[in-house]
Amino acid sequence: MTAVPVFAPGTRILVRDAEWMIRKVDRSSTGDQALTCIGLSQLVKDQEAIFLQELEDAIEVVDPNLTQLRPDSSSGFAAALLHMEAQLR
């Protein structure tokens, strides 16, 4: 028996060659998971989508350890502050 992955809000995933962030996880009528996501990749940026686990061939979790951090070179860290303010809203 294979383990069924359990997804959580905030997790970054790769579906259909695009990166998404899970906003909400619900159970579908079949008992699988329905993932409400927001697009992060350039092609799907800020687009909302719902992925049904039983219909998707591969949902790959992005390893946070592989995330590349980059310094904020804007004056007074304006870009970082703007990003954090947008996330809070």
Q: Is residue 70 part of a domain?
A: yes
**Overall domain count for the chain:** 1
Q: Is residue 4 part of a domain?
A: no
Cα separation of 5 and 60, whole Å?
A: 10
Q: Is residue 2 part of a domain?
A: no
Q: Is residue 28 part of a domain?
A: yes
Per-residue pLDDT band for 4 (boundaries 50, 70, 90) equals low
**Segments forming the whole domain that contains residue 35:** 12-88
Cα separation of 24 and 55, whole Å?
A: 17
Q: Is residue 6 part of a domain?
A: no
Residue 13, pLDDT > 90, answer: yes
Chain segment 34-72, per-residue pLDDT in tens:
999 999 998 999 999 999 999 998 899 998 888 788 888
β-pairing, 12-15 vs 48-52, is unpaired
N- to C-terminal Cα distance for the chain?
42
β-pairing, 12-15 vs 18-27, is antiparallel
